[in-house]
Amino acid sequence: MQGTYDIIIIGAGVTGAMIARFLARYNLKILWIEKAVDVCTGATAANSALIHGGYDTVPGTLKAEMNTKANPMWDQLAEELHFGFERCGTYVVAVGEEERTLLEELHLRGEANNIPTEIISGAEMRAREPNITSKTSGALYCSVGGICDPWGATLAAAENAVMNGVELKLNTEFLDFIWESGSAAQRAAVGGRRSIIGVKTNQGDFYGRWVINAAGLYADEVMHKADVRPEFKITARRGEYYVMDRAKVQINNVLFPVPTKVSKGILVTTTLHGNTLVGPNAQEINDKTDAAVTSGGMQEIWEGAQKLVPRLNQRDIIAVFAGLRPGGNAPCADPSIAYHKDFIIEIPEGVNGLVNLGGIESPGLTAAPAIAVRVTELLQEAGEALPEKPDWNPVRPARPIFRHLSHAEQAALVARDPRYGRVICRCETVTEGEIVAEIHAPIPATTYDAIKRRTWLGTGRCLGGFDMPRVVEILARELETSPLEISKKGQGSEFLTRLTKEVITC
Ligand SMILES: Cc1cc2nc3c(=O)[nH]c(=O)nc-3n(C[C@H](O)[C@H](O)[C@H](O)COP(=O)(O)OP(=O)(O)OC[C@H]3O[C@@H](n4cnc5c(N)ncnc54)[C@H](O)[C@@H]3O)c2cc1C
Q: Decide: 144 and 134 in contact? Cβ < 8 Å.
A: no
The model's pLDDT over 130-177, given as tens digits with 9 standing for 90+, comes to 999 999 999 999 999 999 999 999 999 999 999 999 999 999 999 999
What is residue 353's predicted lDDT score, i.e. its pLDDT?
97
Q: CB 290: neighbour CB atoms within 10 A?
A: 13
User: What's the CA gap between 506 and 86, in Å, rounded?
Assistant: 54
Beta 204-213 vs 4-10: how paired, if at all? parallel
pLDDT above 90: residue 498: no
CA gap 221, 233 in Å, rounded: 8
Taking only the tens place, the pLDDT of each residue in 376-431 is: 999 999 999 999 999 999 999 999 999 999 999 999 999 999 999 999 999 999 99
Determine the pLDDT at residue 503.
Answer: 61
Relative to the CA of 50, which ligand 1 atom is closest?
8
Q: Which amino acid is at 91?
A: Y
Pick from 182-191, 236-245, 358-367: least confident: 182-191
In the predicted model, is pLDDT for residue 76 greater than 60? yes
Nearest CA to ligand 1 atom 26: 216
The least confident of 197-201, 244-248, 426-430 is: 244-248
Q: By three-state DSSP, how is residue 73 classified?
A: helix
Name beta bridge partners: 490: none
The string of DSSP codes covering 288-336 is TT-----HHHHHHHHHHHHHH-TT--GGGEEEEEEEEEEE-----S-TT
388 vs 87, 392, 407, CA distance in Å? 31, 8, 43
- Decide: 414 and 420 in contact? Cβ < 8 Å: yes
**52 part of the active site:** yes
CATH number of 402-485: 1.10.10
Burial of 441 per CB tally in 10 Å (0-12, 13-18, 19+): middle
pLDDT at 474: 98
State which fold the 1-83+147-232+330-398 domain adopts: FAD/NAD(P)-binding domain (3.50.50)
Predicted confidence band at 178 (pLDDT cuts at 50, 70, 90)? very high
Q: Contact, 348 vs 213, CB < 8 A? A: no
- Give the separation between CA 459 and CA 151, rounded to whole angstroms: 13
Closest CA to 237 of 191, 297, 190: 297
Q: Ligand 1 pocket test: pick from 41, 44, 270 the residue with the most ligand atoms within 8 Å of its Cβ.
A: 44
For the ranges 31-35, 261-265, 385-389, 453-457, the lowest mean pLDDT is seen at: 261-265
Does residue 297 contact residue 241 with C-beta atoms inside 8 Å? no
Q: What is the mean pLDDT of the chain?
A: 93
Residue ranges of the chain that CATH labels 3.30.9.10: 90-143+235-327
Closest atom, ligand 1, to C-alpha of 172: 43
Tell which residue, 126, 61, 121, has the closest CA to residue 97: 121
Cis amide bond preceding 363, omega within 30: yes
Question: Of residues 52, 82, 107, 404, which has the active-site annotation?
Answer: 52
Say yes or no: CB of residue 297 within 6 Å of ligand 1.
Answer: no
At the topology level, CATH places domain 90-143+235-327 in D-Amino Acid Oxidase; Chain A, domain 2 (3.30.9)
**Residue with more model confidence, 421 or 350:** 421
Mutation test residue for ligand 1: of 361, 443, 449, 453, the one with most atoms within 8 Å of CB: 361
User: Which among 302, 267, 301, 297 has a CA at the least distance from the CA of 284?
Assistant: 297
Mean pLDDT throughout 36-56? 96
Separation of first and last alpha carbons in the chain: 49
The CATH 1.10.10 portion of the chain extends over 402-485
Decide whether any atom of ligand 1 lies within 6 Å of the 154 Cβ. Answer: no
Contact 145 CB / ligand 1 (< 6 Å): no
Residue 207 and residue 179 in contact, taking contact as beta carbons nearer than 8 Å: no
- pLDDT for the residue numbered 341: 85
Q: pLDDT tier at 461 (50, 70, 90 boundaries)?
A: confident
CA nearest to 386, candidates 368, 372, 401: 372
Q: What distance lies between CA 337 and its chain's CA centroid?
A: 23
CB atoms near residue 186 (< 10 Å): 11
- Decide: 234 in ligand 1 pocket, CB within 6 A: no
Domain(s) of CATH 3.50.50.60: residues in the chain: 1-83+147-232+330-398
